[in-house]
Homo-oligomer: A and B are copies of this chain.
Amino acid sequence: MQLFNTHKELIYEAVEALATRNFHTVYIEDYKEYSEEEKDNGLIAFQTKFNTDFNELNIKSDVWVGEEVSPYLQTGLGIRYPYIDAQTLINNAQKSSESWKKIDIEERAGILTEVLERLKDRFFEIAYATMHTTGQGFAMAFQSSGPHACDRALEAIAMGFSEIKRFPEQIKYEKKVGNNSFQLKKTWKPVPRGISLVIACSTFPVWNSIPAIFASLITGNTVIVKPHPKAVLPIAIVVSELRKVLKESGIKPEVVQLATDITANPIATKLAESPEVKLIDYTGSTKFGNYIESLDKISFTEKGAVNPVIIHSTKDIEAMIQNLAFSLVLYSRQMCTAPQNIYISSDGVKIKDGYVSYDDFCDRLQLAVNSIYEKKWGPSLMGCIQNDNTLKQVKGISMALGKKILDNGSFKMPEHDNARTQSLKILALDSGKQEVFQREIFGPMVFIIKTENVDRSIELALRGVEQFGAITCLVYCSDFMKSKEIEEKFNNVFVPVTFNLTGQIFVNQHSAFSDLHVSGGNVSGNASIVDPSYITKRFVWIGNRYMI
């Protein structure tokens, strides 16, 4: 209980933030507010790991594996992780489950929050690890795997805490019948489902898996984290810190395990199909996600998406273009929230005193995107392409399919001559070319689709999201009634809508404690981070009764 007492203010404030849903953060997102020394030490800690065995998990193994390649250096990191076969992982999880299950929610919350506090001291190390596995720019790598991820993890702790605190642990139940009274002792126990498998992705190895890990843990489950073989280190550090704090607290560290595998011998399906695994969290391709959902398990998926932008009208065309351009180039569209299809009618964009034509819009967007590349911070904003397949797919799209707006190939990444980069391709198309744009292209590719009118834009965007799912939908519309109509139509197919963004808030960003990430209601995924069912599905309420 000591750790709970240490952190209870953090936890209670987080619980409150969940209800108010206003801006709330515990971990500072701007790396400039940390000291230079911390940054330097983080880099050293990261570099020291090159070509070594990752021993922090405190695991003995005969087989060590590792195949991470830095998208900046295009050389292997040489870090190796212990390989443990699926059945051993399952056995370990089962053997350790009692020690975690039996402690109460306060103790669990205390231990898990302590882990976040310790991760804080390694934010820079994790940032470099993220940068050199995912290809993210430094600032994003720092935010996404550090403060933002830890805020999300705390959100999961808080939601778990408040869900489990909803029912009393024990009451004296009294029923009066006439002159008689019957008494029972009643207890309610949140019994964890069992083993939770978290399958991480290569682009956001921490952000997309840490809420799941903490949600499963706060509800008493044991967790096996299966990282993407090309993005192990960032999440391996998180798992290590979890195991250390568990051990210090007298809990078996096997409550959390890392299941590193290699591309040639994947372990995910073996684990997923193991009957002891009851919960599966997955972020990645639609195909594998559909397979996960088809298993007779409780699954939490985030799959592919084709996020639309509908442009109808705006009060500030330049601010709109700037905001949109930023969203499009951020991490070279390797974000599940990035817009892909921009629908705009042949009339162009309605502004205060007329229209900006369709062609003008295309030109302005091209200029805005290009000007980001020319900025000093531009390359870092775009980052590298995580893997060759993404690059190949984007390169493979012929600009002859429509009107080329932008196609500049790779760009120079300062200090990293060998970086795998690709500037944003922008292709303008007629709305008839659905076979080209009605599919997910993950990576730096954007379609500007010319439609007959805004209703046709809406119709085409809806068709896309119903078939391929959407995590975000960005709309520019200064007409109140039309906005309401668009909102309702997308909400009805379980797609949230963001309107008229300008300035420093971007559609790609979902804030912990406020924005739900993925609605869970359309085919882009079946879970929402962190709504109540993200927690309640991970345990079962059991009510026992005793005659007294």
Contacts and interface: CB of A to CB of B under 8 A. Distances in A.
A110 interface: no
Contacts of A86: none
Interface string A481-503: 00000010001101111111111
Interface stretch (A181-189, A233-241, A380-388, A424-432): A181-189
Contacts of A180: 504
Interface string A1-36: 000000000000000000111110000001000000
A167 interface: yes
A547 B494 contact: no
A545 B515 contact: yes
A125 interface: no
A177 interface: yes
Nearest to A504: B182
Contacts of A496: 542-545
A244 interface: no
A496 B177 CA distance: 25
A180 B191 CA distance: 46
A377 interface: no
Contacts of A503: 182, 547
A533 B536 contact: yes
A213 to B, nearest CB: 21
A472 to B, nearest CB: 10
Contacts of A514: 173, 186, 543
Contact of A491 (B23, B191, B505, B515): B191
A160 B422 CA distance: 49
Interface residues of A, number: 60
Contacts of A501: 545, 547
Interface in A497-535: 497-505, 511, 514-516, 519-521, 528, 531-533
A171 interface: yes
B22 A547 contact: no
A295 interface: no
Nearest to A537: B533
A537 B521 CA distance: 10
B184 A505 contact: yes
A40 to B, nearest CB: 24
Given A163-B532, A494-B540, A540-B520, A499 B547 contact: yes
A502 B184 CA distance: 11
A531 B540 CA distance: 9
Contacts of A499: 544-547
A435 interface: no
A173 B22 contact: yes
Contacts of A536: 531-533, 536
A541 interface: yes
Given A21-B167, A496-B545, 10 more contacts: A20-B168, A20-B171, A22-B173, A186-B514, A191-B494, A494-B540, A498-B544, A516-B541, A519-B541, A531-B541
Interface of A: 19-23, 30, 163, 166-168, 171, 173-177, 180, 182, 184, 186, 188-189, 191, 193, 487, 491-492, 494-505, 511, 514-516, 519-521, 528, 531-533, 536-537, 540-547
11 contacts: A19-B167, A20-B171, A21-B171, A177-B504, A186-B514, A487-B544, A495-B542, A496-B544, A498-B544, A500-B547, A501-B547
The 3 closest A-B pairs by CB, nearest first: A521-B540, A500-B547, A498-B545
